[in-house]
Amino acid sequence: MRVTVATRRSPLALAQSREVAHALVRGGHEAPLLEVTTTGDRWSLAGTGQQPGADVKGLFVKELEEALLAGAADIAVHSAKDLPGVLPVGLVIIATPPRQHPGDVLVGSPGGLDALPDGARVGTTSPRRSAQVLAVRPDLTVVEVRGNVGTRLRALDAGEVDALVLAAAGLNRLGITRDDAVDLPLETFLPAAGQGIVAIEGRDADPAVREACAPLDDAAARVCLVAERAFLARLGGGCTVPAAALCEADGDHLRMRAWWDGTGRFVDLEGTTRDPAALGVRAAEGVGAA
């Protein structure tokens, strides 16, 4: 069957969507791409420094979801961490391929944060990453650096910042290797909920498309994403307060670590794959969700 794949035009989004499309083709389907520029992309490239609104996450998926609802596309491929806590009525996550490295990397300082001099400029647009960097090194200066991965790396190489914090999965999917990159420890730099996971979104009432995408689904990635999204939902869905969550599966056993800057609390919990959402809710309540 023909499965039209909606995707953002950024290099990372295209790389992720092409992986999904190639997997569908290997399964005997046609999978043309429908490239879309989202409101978030326009904001990111505008360079005005102005925030577009409270729910920044939704601005990177809005037009893709509109294409699904209008029937212009059959699935949309997202970085799972970009998805808002609540999806539009009629849309669901229908598959989650295997998760890539969920953590962050520091680029520009192979010795890590400790090797940066006092006052060094660290680039990121993420409130979570900003809070985590300053918790470890309050003497550093966090600088907003927007744009796609390539744009941010060019800003680093041009000397606009001394280091960058980026998702390891994004560099891996783009095939970018840097001698000046080092993994940041998960003990102090828990990732955003869903980081490293690709979410394939589709219409709930479209069983043929769901069946076509079923072979792409990874059970471990799926249950962990359920837990992490339940954590976000319990915190308030589109909450802009920095928060982080990482669920890991080992057979039927789940381990969930979470942190919320609203209280500064960290939790490390266990659960099972039978009810990953309950684990996410417990994690949110443990960090102080009202």
Residues noted as catalytic: 82
- Return d(Cα 215, Cα 99) in angstroms, integer: 15
Q: Can you read off the two tokens belonging to residue 253?
A: 């056993």
Strand order from edge to edge, sheet including 91-95 = 33-36, 5-8, 75-79, 198-203, 91-95
Strand order from edge to edge, sheet including 253-260 = 243-250, 253-260, 265-272
- Return d(Cα 256, Cα 251) in angstroms, integer: 14
Distance of CA 226 to the CA centre of its chain: 14
- Return d(Cα 277, Cα 254) in angstroms, integer: 11
Q: How many CB atoms lie within 10 A of CB 263?
A: 12
Q: How many CB atoms lie within 10 A of CB 50?
A: 8
